Amino acid sequence: MAPGPIAPSDFYTGLVAELYRHLRSETFEAEPYARFVERSGEPALELGCGDGDPMLDLLSRGLVVEGLDSSADMLDRCRSAAAARGLDVVLHHATFEEMDLGERYRSIYLAGATFNLLPDDETAGAAMGRIAAHLHPDGSALIPLFVPPAPTEAEIGSVRERVTQDGAVMRVTVLEVVRDEVARDQTTELRYESIRGGDHHVVDRSWRLHWFEQDRFAAMVADAGLVTRSVRSANGGSASRDDTSFSFVVGPAPT
C-alpha cells in the first residue's frame, strides 16, 4: 500500500506514466479545445498536457499551442509522440502553482479536470494567480472541474484492464477509497500492473482529488484578479447549481 498521496509530478512517473495512455478512463476529443483556442486566440498553453492529448492534435491543425506538465516522464512521452507525428512541440516542466514562463497567452486551457489534482485551496489559489500572470489582457482560460461522486462498495476491487497488440496486460485495480467531505478530498489507492511474458511489474499509488463548489471557485477566480465569464455544463450549455461537472471560462478584469 502506498504511504499516502503524492504530488502529480511523482504520481505520473515510471510504470504509471507507461500505463497511462492504455488505462485512462477518459479520452480527450480535440474539437472543443480547438474551438476554444480559435475563439480566444493564439498562442495557447495547455496545462497538464501529459503525453500529448489533445495538444498534439491541435498542433497538427496548425494552431500554436505549448504544453506544461509537472511530470518529466510524461513530457518525455509527449516529445516521443510528437516526433513520431513529425510535429515540433514546445514543452515546459513546471507545476501550475510555480510556473514562470515569461510569456502571455491568449488561450490557457486544461483538458479534463486536471485542476482537481491540486491538493488544497492554497495551492489552487496560487495556481490561479499564475494563470492570471500568464494571460494576455485579451485572453481567456478554460478550467474544467468536477465533484467526484461518493465511492460505492462495488468500486473497491474493481479492475480496468487492457491487452496491447504485443500481448502485454496493463491493469489498474482500486484497492481503497477514502473521502473527506469537509476537506473536499478523495484519495483512491490504486495498484498498477504490467504483465509481459514472465515480467510482472507492480506499483501502488495514492491518487488524490480535491474539489470545489462553483461559488467557492468563483471566489478563487476573483481573488486572482480574474473575472468569471461563464460556467458551462458538460454538454456545453450554462451550468446549473446542481451540476457536478462544469467548466469555468475566466479572463482578466476589463480595464
Tell me the average pLDDT across 228-251.
94
| Nearest Cα residue to 240 out of 213, 209, 211 | 213
Average pLDDT over the chain reads: 93
- Reported as a pLDDT band with limits 50, 70 and 90, residue 1 is very low
pLDDT digit string, tens, across residues 154-175: 999 999 998 988 889 999 999 9
* 8-147+212-252 is a CATH 3.40.50.150 domain: yes
Q: Model's pTM, two decimal places? A: 0.93
Kindly report the backbone phi and psi dihedral angles of residue 163, in degrees, each rounded to the nearest multiple of 5, phi listed first: -115, 120
- The position carrying cell 467531505 is 181
Render pLDDT for 172-214 as a digit per residue (tens, 0 to 9).
999 999 999 999 999 999 999 999 988 999 999 999 999 999 9
Task: Give Cα separations from 16 to 142, 209, 245 (angstroms).
Answer: 27, 17, 25
* Alpha helices (H) along 54-120: 55-60, 72-84
CB 179 within 8 A of CB 186: yes
Q: What is the DSSP letter of 3?
A: S
Is 212:144 a contact under the CB 8 Å cutoff? no
Confidence of residue 247 (pLDDT cuts 50, 70, 90): very high
